[in-house]
Amino acid sequence: MRGRGEKAVFITAYDYPMARFADAAGVDMVLVGDSVANTTLGYRSTTCVDMEDMVRHSGAVTRAVERAFVIGDMPFMSYQQSDEAAVANAGRFVVAGCDAVKCEGGRRVAPRVRAMVDAGMVVMGHIGLTPQSLAQLGGYRVQGRTDDQVGSLREDIVALEEAGAQMVLLEAMPPEAGRLLRDSVDVPVYGIGAGPHVDGQLLILHDVIGMQDPAILRRPSFVKRYADVGAVVVEALRQYGADVRSGAFPAEERWYKGRE
Residues labelled catalytic: 171
**DSSP annotation of 46:** G
Spatial separation of the C-alpha atoms in residues 135 and 46, rounded to whole Å = 12
Closest CA to 160 of 120, 212, 123: 123
Spatial separation of the C-alpha atoms in residues 47 and 34, rounded to whole Å = 8
Cis peptide before 250 (omega within 30 of 0): yes
Assess contact for 32 and 12: CB atoms under 8 A.
Answer: yes
* 3-class DSSP state of 167: strand
CB-neighbour burial class of residue 158 (10 A; exposed 0-12, middle 13-18, buried 19+): middle
**DSSP annotation of 73:** E
Assess contact for 147 and 115: CB atoms under 8 A.
Answer: no
Spatial separation of the C-alpha atoms in residues 112 and 198, rounded to whole Å = 25
Closest CA to 155 of 130, 127, 134: 127
**DSSP annotation of 105:** B
Bridge pairing between strands 29-32 and 69-73: parallel
